[in-house]
């Protein structure tokens, strides 16, 4: 069996929350592990279609009519090109759900996630300007437009994470209608936000550098105790310098993102507020 819907993103925009809600629906089947990344050539695509289908093998026995997966990396063009074409080849009739968040807040959250994983060395004021993948993931119109040659606009539902938080029941009903499921169903945890960056700790420089030295020296990695992820010796709490955007930096990001947000209004309608970035 193959999925008939996919949550395609965006990263750090409440896709985990939506995935957790939908998995509880009696007529929905989604694999227990989020982010299959199957349609990404650099990730799971080489595993083949048989592997992908195996992830949904038990959907029929559970009586699911909506079968889906959630991989926010599917909207990380140009970092991962070719995703829409591969998807159209395998599941051409699929419905796609794209969850958006204030693009600058999403960039900050994405930065903090990479920082917490020990994979970012630049301060936020440099990283958001010098590493293009942060802003590219927030160019939502650009990402949608990569899919439109392969999927009709009617097969793409765009919702806002702000709506999922402020009016979760109404927003979930939009998703259920889109999936042709009766609206009105509610999960017990509706309104709970999953996988947020709040409370995360980041590796101290010496701990992060040690990991880099081991990789460069091809030294086998030893098992890392779970306590190391929270130990004050190896990690530190997020500080103001990690998350604060100066007025100048925010202005530059707004100017960079504004043309994309203006194009996004074409897909969301004139009532779209544009997170205050529209002219």
Do 110 and 226 lie in one domain? The reply is: no
Do 168 and 108 lie in one domain? The reply is: yes
Which residue reads 């899919």 in tokens?
147
Residue at 137 is within a domain: yes
State residue 117's pLDDT score.
82
Do 226 and 96 lie in one domain? The reply is: no
Residue at 243 is within a domain: no
Do 222 and 265 lie in one domain? The reply is: no
DSSP state of 65: S
State residue 244's pLDDT score.
84
Do 159 and 214 lie in one domain? The reply is: no
Residue at 271 is within a domain: yes
Do 224 and 130 lie in one domain? The reply is: no
Do 42 and 137 lie in one domain? The reply is: yes
CA dist list (Å): 177 to 43, 171, 189: 32, 10, 20
The count of domains in the chain is 2
Do 25 and 83 lie in one domain? The reply is: yes
Q: Return the percentage of the chain with pLDDT > 70, whole number.
A: 83
Phi, psi of 70 (to 5 degrees): -135, 115
Do 191 and 217 lie in one domain? The reply is: no
> What is the domain-level CATH number for residue 71?
3.40.50.300
Between CA 123 and CA 30 the distance in angstroms is 37
State residue 200's pLDDT score.
62
Instruction: Tokens for 78, please give them.
Output: 């140009």
pLDDT, tens digit (0-9, with 9 covering 90-100), for 182-221: 989 999 999 898 866 555 666 655 444 544 444 445 555 5
DSSP of 17-32, one letter per residue? HHHHHHHTSTTEE--S
pLDDT, tens digit (0-9, with 9 covering 90-100), for 70-112: 999 999 999 999 999 999 999 999 999 999 999 999 999 999 9
Residue at 98 is within a domain: yes
What is the domain extent for residue 82?
5-195+256-276
Do 65 and 27 lie in one domain? The reply is: yes
How much is the mean pLDDT over the chain?
89
Return the SS3 of 53: helix
Query: Along the 279 residues of the chain, how does pLDDT read in single tens digits?
Result: 999 999 999 999 999 999 999 999 999 999 999 999 999 999 999 999 999 999 999 999 999 999 999 999 999 999 999 999 999 999 999 999 999 999 999 999 999 999 888 889 899 999 999 999 999 999 999 999 999 999 999 999 999 999 999 999 999 999 999 999 998 999 999 989 886 655 566 665 544 454 444 444 555 554 555 555 556 666 666 665 677 899 999 999 999 999 999 999 999 999 999 999 997
| Strands annotated E in the chain | 5-9, 28-29, 66-70, 95-100, 156-160, 201-203, 235-237
Do 60 and 183 lie in one domain? The reply is: yes
Residue at 67 is within a domain: yes
Do 183 and 219 lie in one domain? The reply is: no
The answer to whether 27 and 5 are in contact (CB under 8 A) is no
Residue at 105 is within a domain: yes
CA dist list (Å): 35 to 1, 61, 165: 17, 23, 22
Residue at 95 is within a domain: yes
Between CA 223 and CA 225 the distance in angstroms is 6
Residue at 247 is within a domain: no
The answer to whether 99 and 160 are in contact (CB under 8 A) is yes
């Amino acid at each position: 069996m193959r999925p008939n819907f996919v949550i395609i993103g965006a990263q750090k925009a409440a896709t985990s929350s939506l995935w957790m809600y939908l998995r509880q629906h009696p007529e929905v089947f989604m694999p227990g592990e989020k982010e299959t990344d199957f349609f990404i050539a650099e990730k799971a695509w080489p595993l083949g279609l048989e592997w992908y289908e195996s992830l949904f093998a038990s959907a029929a026995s559970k009586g699911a009519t909506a079968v889906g997966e959630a991989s926010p990396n599917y909207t990380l063009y140009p970092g991962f090109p070719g995703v829409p074409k591969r998807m159209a080849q395998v599941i051409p009739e699929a419905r796609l759900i794209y969850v958006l968040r204030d693009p600058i807040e999403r960039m900050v959250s994405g930065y903090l996630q990479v920082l917490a994983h020990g994979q970012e060395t630049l301060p936020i004021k440099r990283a958001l300007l010098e590493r293009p993948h942060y802003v590219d993931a927030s160019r939502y119109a650009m990402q949608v437009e990569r899919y439109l040659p392969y999927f009709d606009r009617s097969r793409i539902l765009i919702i806002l994470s702000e709506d999922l938080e402020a009016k979760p029941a109404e927003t979930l009903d939009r998703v259920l209608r889109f999936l042709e499921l009766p609206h009105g169903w509610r999960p017990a945890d509706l309104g709970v936000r999953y996988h947020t960056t709040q409370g995360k700790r980041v590796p101290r420089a010496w701990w992060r550098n040690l990991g880099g030295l081991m990789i460069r020296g091809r030294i086998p990695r030893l098992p890392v105790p779970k306590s190391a992820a929270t130990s004050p010796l190896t990690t530190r709490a997020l500080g103001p310098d990690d998350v604060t955007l100066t007025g100048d930096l925010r202005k530059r990001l707004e100017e960079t993102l504004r043309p994309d947000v203006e194009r996004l209004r074409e897909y969301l309608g004139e009532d779209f507020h544009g997170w205050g970035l529209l002219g």
